[in-house]
Amino acid sequence: DTGVSQDPRHKITKRGQNVTFRCDPISEHNRLYWYRQTLGQGPEFLTYFQNEAQLEKSRLLSDRFSAERPKGSFSTLEIQRTEQGDSAMYLCASSRGGATNYGYTFGSGTRLTVV
Amino acid sequence: AQSVTQPDIHITVSEGASLELRCNYSYGATPYLFWYVQSPGQGLQLLLKYFSGDTLVQGIKGFEAEFKRSQSSFNLRKPSVHWSDAAEYFCAVGAWGGGADGLTFGKGTHLIIQP
C-alpha cells in the first residue's frame, strides 16, 4: 500500500493555459474522488468515480473542468483556460467502497497557482 | 443539504493541556461523521469516524470524539496535547444514498501548541 499519489505537487501556470493533474489511488480502491481546497477553507467536493464511471459532479465543476478515469485505475483532472480563481490545492482521495462507510485516504495534493 | 460548522478558527493550547475542538453538523438523517487532520502542505489524514453504535469513538494519536445527537455535535478531544499535534483539523459529514458519496467539510480549526 503506497498510498494515494498525486503529480505534480506544485504547478504554476499563466492565466488562459490548460493544466492536467494526475492521481494514482490505492490499488484495491474502486472509488476515486477529487476535491478543491482554497486558502482558509475546508476541501470542497468536485467529482467522484466508481471504477471508470463518473457518478457525481458538483456544481463547482464548471465546463472548463474535466475528469477522467479511463481504466478504473489512475485519474486525470484537466482545467482548460485557467483563471486566477482556479488557484487552489487539488486533492485526490480514494476509498474501498463508499466514503460514507470507510472514509477516504487522501493524497498530498497538487497546489495550482495561476498568475 | 448537509453542513458542518467549526466555530473556532484558531485555538491555542499549552503542551500537555487537554484539548476540545467543536463541531456542529446539520443533516436530515443519521449522520456519518469524520475528523481529519492536515499538516502544512499535506493531504488529510483520517483521525476517527462515527457511523453508529457507541457514541464515544476512539481514533489514532490518542484522539476521541463524542457524538451527541441532541446537540448535533461531534466534538474532538485529547487529554494531553503534544507539540506535534499542531495542525489544521477538519470535521466532515457524509452524504448517504441517491448516488451521493461526497463529504461536506467544515472550514477547519487551526491548532497552535505553545510550550
Pick from A84, A75, A47: which is nearest to A62 by CA? A47
Chain A residue nearest residue B30, CA to CA = A100
Per-residue pLDDT, A28: 87
Residue A100 touches partner B, C-beta closer than 8 Å: yes
Rounded to 5 degrees, φ, ψ at A80 are -95, 150
Q: A58 contacts in B (CB within 8 Å)?
A: 102
Find the CB nearest B94 among A31, A100, A105. Answer: A100
Rounded CA separation A92/A108 (Å)? 8
Region A59-71 average pLDDT: 92
The model's pLDDT over B61-110, given as tens digits with 9 standing for 90+, comes to 999 999 999 999 999 999 999 999 999 999 999 866 545 567 889 999 99
Find the CB nearest A55 among B99, B103, B105. Answer: B99
- Three cell numbers written together for B43: 493531504
- Three cell numbers written together for A110: 497538487
Rounded CA separation A97/A89 (Å)? 25
Q: Do A48 and B99 touch (CB under 8 A)?
A: no
pLDDT band, residue A40 (cuts 50/70/90) = confident
Q: Distance between the two ends of chain A, CA-based, in angstroms? A: 36
Element (H, E) at A100: helix A99-102
Q: A91 contacts in B (CB within 8 Å)?
A: 43-44
Element (H, E) at A36: strand A31-37
- Portion of chain A with pLDDT greater than 90, in percent: 73
Residue A74 in this model has a pLDDT that exceeds 60: yes
Q: Which of A58-72, A92-106, B19-33 has the lowest mean pLDDT?
A: A92-106
Of B95 and B11, the one with more pLDDT: B11
Rounded to 5°, angle at Cα B38 from B34 and B42 = 130
Per-residue pLDDT, B100: 58
Region B26-38 average pLDDT: 87
In angstroms, how far is CA A103 from the centroid of its own chain?
A: 16
Q: Do A45 and B104 touch (CB under 8 A)?
A: yes
Residue A101 in this model has a pLDDT that exceeds 80: no
Q: How far is CA A112 from CA A104, A109, B73, in A?
A: 22, 9, 34
Region A62-90 average pLDDT: 95
pLDDT band, residue A98 (cuts 50/70/90) = low
pLDDT band, residue A8 (cuts 50/70/90) = very high
Rounded to 5°, angle at Cα B8 from A58 and A94 = 35
